[in-house]
């Protein structure tokens, strides 16, 4: 299998390793098209297995019935009281859920070493209630990987993984997602990676990890259906939508974080939709802002690539989920698209987005 290796100097900068002891992350290019890698990631499989034996799996892991679920339960059930699972449950009980553990595991090299690749982000440290919880969780995951011989299990599932990867790759279609995304936001990322994770439910996560050369942008997603007993990912249009959505978070979220004080000035706008947003796991205004922005940008990108005929249905769907500011954002984004000479990069336009929310909130 061919590999794409991070340059040696990158490893030194990223990890501070000795020259004779580099740690290399490789991304298989067997499933690569139009700038996107599709790969199974042993780190994500490890996390999913551990979560499978916690309460998180009850409502947030797949309810599809396929052999791999039973294989996981049979192989790992005798380790269900391992400290890694206990620690995972403790973190879940304290709100370390959804995107946080997914982002966390990507800060490490592959099992069994799980060497940390760089300092944890402030976001992760805050979600875990302190860096020591992250360090402790990583150590317990490292031990779980060793005592269960996790990589032996992972390697034994290669045939299953390959079948799932083939389905995901074929669902990708021929659209050049990266050209569409980077043209819309006016900036580039280092690598775009899709990680199908069979134990996760049908949603997705869009974590990112900074490296000296740029940023790894991920789309971690679970299956929506089965194809001859193999997890699959819906129709091409479904796949397109979730890919544009999750990749967009890596462009939108950092700008909201950078402008968090200004964004929170309009937090009164959260009140009319607070309960509906919380039911969708969007628990505060700035997360709600990110979701509004990602959703309208995805609609605008899809209209650009597929035509106006799809727009009304997409807009109505988002409004039905209480994204009530999306109509005003749609009008605003037309201004962005019509003035790309003035706004070559989405970040240049972000103050106008803040101004819109301030206006809607009655802030002068």
Q: pLDDT in tens for each of the 364 residues of the chain? A: 433 444 333 333 344 433 333 344 667 777 998 889 999 999 999 999 999 999 999 999 999 999 999 999 999 999 999 999 999 999 999 999 999 999 999 999 999 999 998 889 899 999 999 999 999 999 999 999 999 999 999 999 999 999 999 999 999 888 899 999 999 999 999 999 999 999 999 888 999 888 777 788 999 999 999 999 999 999 998 889 999 999 999 999 999 999 999 999 999 999 999 999 999 989 999 999 999 999 999 999 999 999 999 999 999 999 999 999 999 999 999 999 999 999 999 999 999 999 999 999 999 7
Please report which helix (H) or strand (E) contains residue 195, including its range. strand 191-196
67, 214: one domain: yes
- Looking at 179, 197, 232, the residue that finishes a domain is 232
For residues 178 and 289, what is the distance between their CA atoms, to the nearest angstrom?
Answer: 23
278, 197: one domain: no
Q: Are 250 and 273 in contact (CB under 8 A)?
A: no
Note whether residue 24 is domain-resident.
no
160, 295: one domain: no
Number of domains in the chain: 2
Q: Could you tell me the two tokens for 225?
A: 């259906």
Note whether residue 98 is domain-resident.
yes
Handedness of CA 125, 131, 133, 137 (dihedral sign): positive
271, 226: one domain: no
Note whether residue 203 is domain-resident.
yes
295, 208: one domain: no
- Looking at 232, 247, 282, the residue that finishes a domain is 232
62, 98: one domain: yes
For residues 19 and 11, what is the distance between their CA atoms, to the nearest angstrom?
Answer: 9
For residues 142 and 144, what is the distance between their CA atoms, to the nearest angstrom?
Answer: 5
Note whether residue 183 is domain-resident.
yes
pTM of the model: 0.88
For residues 288 and 344, what is the distance between their CA atoms, to the nearest angstrom?
Answer: 25
Return the DSSP state at 53.
Answer: T
Q: Could you tell me the two tokens for 142?
A: 């490292």
216, 335: one domain: no
Look up the domain containing 347 and give its range.
259-360
For residues 166 and 62, what is the distance between their CA atoms, to the nearest angstrom?
Answer: 19
Going through 265-353 in order, the beta strands assigned E by DSSP cover none
216, 76: one domain: yes
Note whether residue 251 is domain-resident.
no
Note whether residue 243 is domain-resident.
no
326, 215: one domain: no
For residues 36 and 321, what is the distance between their CA atoms, to the nearest angstrom?
Answer: 30
Three-class DSSP category at 28: strand
Q: Could you tell me the two tokens for 202?
A: 């049908």
211, 281: one domain: no
213, 270: one domain: no
For residues 11 and 211, what is the distance between their CA atoms, to the nearest angstrom?
Answer: 9
Note whether residue 92 is domain-resident.
yes
Note whether residue 21 is domain-resident.
no
344, 227: one domain: no
Query: Residue 285: which residues within 8 A CB-CB, separation 6 or more?
Result: 263, 264, 266, 267, 269, 270
CA 52-201-291 angle, 5° bins: 125
């Amino acid at each position: 299998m061919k590999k794409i290796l991070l340059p040696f100097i990158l490893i030194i900068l990223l990890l501070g390793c000795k020259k004779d002891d580099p740690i290399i992350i490789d991304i298989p290019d067997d499933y690569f098209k139009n700038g996107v890698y599709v790969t199974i990631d042993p780190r994500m499989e490890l996390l999913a297995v551990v979560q499978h034996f916690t309460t998180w799996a009850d409502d947030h892991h797949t309810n599809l019935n396929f052999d791999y679920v039973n294989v996981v339960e049979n192989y790992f059930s005798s380790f269900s009281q391992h400290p890694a699972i206990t620690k995972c449950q403790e973190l879940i009980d304290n709100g370390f859920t959804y995107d946080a553990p997914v982002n966390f595991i990507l800060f490490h090299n592959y099992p069994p070493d799980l060497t940390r690749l760089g300092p944890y982000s402030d976001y992760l440290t805050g979600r875990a209630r302190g860096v020591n919880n992250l360090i402790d969780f990583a150590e317990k995951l490292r031990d779980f990987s060793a005592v269960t011989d996790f990589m032996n299990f992972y390697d034994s599932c290669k045939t299953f993984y390959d079948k799932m990867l083939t389905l995901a790759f074929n669902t990708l279609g021929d659209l050049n997602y990266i050209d569409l995304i980077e043209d819309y936001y006016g900036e580039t990322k280092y690598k775009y990676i899709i990680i199908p994770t069979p134990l996760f439910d049908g949603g997705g996560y869009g974590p990112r990890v900074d490296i000296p050369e740029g940023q790894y942008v991920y789309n971690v997603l679970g299956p929506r259906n089965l194809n001859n007993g193999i997890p699959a990912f819906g129709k091409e249009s479904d796949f397109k939508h979730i890919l544009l959505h999750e990749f967009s978070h890596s462009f939108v979220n950092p700008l909201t974080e950078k402008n968090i004080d200004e964004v929170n000035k309009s937090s009164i706008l959260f009140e009319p939709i607070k309960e509906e947003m919380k039911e969708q796991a969007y628990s505060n205004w700035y997360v709600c802002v990110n979701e509004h922005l990602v959703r309208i940008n995805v609609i605008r990108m899809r209209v650009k690539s597929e035509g106006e005929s799809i727009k009304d249905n997409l807009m109505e769907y988002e409004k039905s989920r209480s994204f009530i500011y999306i109509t005003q954002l749609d009008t605003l984004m037309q201004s962005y698209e019509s003035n790309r000479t003035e706004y070559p990069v989405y970040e240049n336009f972000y103050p106008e987005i803040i101004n819109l929310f301030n206006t809607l909130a009655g802030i002068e």
